[in-house]
Amino acid sequence: MKKKWFKNKPLIDSITRTSRFKILELFLIILALYAAFNFDKNQRNLFSGIIYCHTDTLFTILFLAFFFLTTLNTCISFYQYDTYIIRLKDKKNLIKKLISLTLQINGLLLLIYFIIYLSLNNLVMLDSYDIKPVFDYGINTDIYSLFIVIKFYLSAILYMILNTILFVIIKENKTVVINILYLSGFFLIGPNPTYKFSFLPWYYYHLIPYQSFRQEIIFFMLYIILGIAFISILGIIGTRQKRGVAYDN
């Protein structure tokens, strides 16, 4: 990982020094501030606050929209380096390089976000570390909040990779349209209780009571496996496209 970081460092430096990226960093700070103060005032404690924030529809939309923009910015910037792209042997290497670059830049932003969010959230929730039972799961909010965080950010990472591949296949405009439709789905598909597996991604960002905590974990793992398979198929489709060097919207 360290080797890949230094290998991509010239590209990362050139992308992160642009004025567009500086604006994104400002939005990131605003997002982290919003997240830190986004909790149920009637259940003011650290673990319940983490669960509330990461299952809140507005926060989810803002978070995914932000990291879609950062992914889009990385992809557009990458395609400006024609001479670098020419050195890549085939479309498969191009996709792998772009995914690696996207995850490294977004990972850096996620680290900054976590530092701001957790620091402020711990100050806001100082001495408020009560734990409470979660549904009929037989666990408390401390354990469930950890699961929610893992579920939220793992889903978000898949979202970043998916958008990177979509950009390669269909370019900017169509990728933007697809993401607008996807984010609109949060307003159309509510957090209705479900006891059957669903491939609809919106369900996994909502706070939904399952029959058991074990069932929720199994359904989420199955969703992730199918999501990885879907992304892999798209990646194969992308590698079979005719390779182009210049970015064409």
Please give the span between the terminal C-alpha atoms of the chain, in angstroms, as a whole number: 32
Sign of CA dihedral 200, 201, 207, 211: positive
What confidence score (pLDDT) does residue 152 get? 95
Residue 60 · residue 109 · CB < 8 Å: no
DSSP 192: -
Compute the average pLDDT of residues 212-231: 95
Secondary structure element (H or E) that encloses residue 110, with its range? helix 91-124
Give 97-144 pLDDT, tens digit per residue: 999 999 999 999 999 999 999 888 888 877 778 899 999 999 999 999
- Under 8 Å CB-to-CB from 17, ≥6 apart: which residues? none
Rounded Cα distance, 201 and 156, in Å: 11
Give 32-82 pLDDT, tens digit per residue: 999 999 888 777 888 998 999 999 999 999 999 999 999 999 999 998 888
Rounded Cα distance, 201 and 206, in Å: 10
